[in-house]
Amino acid sequence: MLNRNGEGMENYKEYLKNLIYNYLHTKADDAIIKYLSDNSSVKTFKKNELVIAAGDASSKLFVLYQGLIRKFYLDYQGNDITHMFITPDSVFSTEFIMVQTPALCSFEALEECVLLQMDYKKVKQKMMEETQLMQVYIRILEETLREKLLRDNSLLGKCATERYLELKHRMPDIDKRVNHTHIASYIGVTPVSLSRIRRTLREEN
């Protein structure tokens, strides 16, 4: 977790420096930090507010500075399915920046959230000029792919209890922060089944 002390854009500049260091383990170039901060805006979303709605054509990159976001979609029967939980220091966007199609999923603030918002086209333009920024982008893509592969492996190769324990390991306070219906849909079970899993684990411990 990166440092969140202080307020104002100077603090966000320091935050961006730390974020880049977190990816590359080397000091961020000052020119890159200035460019990113000059082309960033700070957005605050209230609990239950949509950050991005399905159907939006958003070309924005977001960095979650504070809070918790749920990415979800509606299946063909209209069921609300949680795809992932986005935690601080994560960079995310929609498929629109890659394939120019409207977002298939929605992103909901589960708590009051603070995000840095950037225009992807401007960031991409700078990537063509700055190798360091391109390296950060590659690391983000690698991390996204890794998370997808782990998620697919979990859904295909593990039982619901194992998936729940994995989620608890990553987010120990998830039960206190997130509606259990969302947790159930994330691990692929009904709320009733999740209650049974939680009760069994309590009895075993």
Pairing of strands 106-109, 69-74: antiparallel
pLDDT surpasses 90 at 205: no
The band of 136, judged by pLDDT with boundaries at 50, 70 and 90, is very high
- Residue 25 backbone phi and psi in degrees, to 5: 55, 35
Residue 5: count of CB within 10 angstroms of its CB? 7
Which residue carries 């966007």 as its tokens?
A: 93
Q: What is the mean pLDDT of the chain?
A: 88
The band of 159, judged by pLDDT with boundaries at 50, 70 and 90, is very high
Strand locations in 91-171 (E): 91-92, 106-109, 113-119
pLDDT surpasses 50 at 95: yes
The band of 166, judged by pLDDT with boundaries at 50, 70 and 90, is very high
Which two structure tokens, joined as six digits, stand for 136? 């950060």
Among 53, 17, 57, 55, residue whose Cα is nearest residue 34: 17
Whether residue 114 contacts residue 44, with contact meaning beta carbons closer than 8 Å, is answered with yes
pLDDT surpasses 60 at 6: no
pLDDT at res. 60: 87
The band of 3, judged by pLDDT with boundaries at 50, 70 and 90, is very low
For the chain, which domains are there? 9-125 (2.60.120.10)
What would the 3-class secondary structure string for 8-76 be? Answer: CHHHHHHHHHHHHHHHHCCCCCHHHHHHHHHCEEEEEECCCCEEECCCCCCCEEEEEEECCEEEEEECC
Query: What is the pTM assigned to this prediction?
Result: 0.88
Residue type present at position 145: L
Q: pLDDT (tens digit, 9 = 90+) per residue, 28-63?
A: 899 999 999 889 899 999 999 999 998 888 788 999
Average pLDDT in the 89-118 region? Answer: 85
Among 45, 34, 29, 44, residue whose Cα is nearest residue 12: 34
Radius of gyration (C-alpha) of the chain in whole angstroms = 18
Q: How far apart are CA 29 and CA 80, in angstroms?
A: 42
pLDDT surpasses 80 at 2: no
Among 68, 84, 72, residue whose Cα is nearest residue 146: 84
Which two structure tokens, joined as six digits, stand for 48? 């239950």
pLDDT at res. 55: 86
Q: How far apart are CA 131 and CA 113, in angstroms?
A: 31
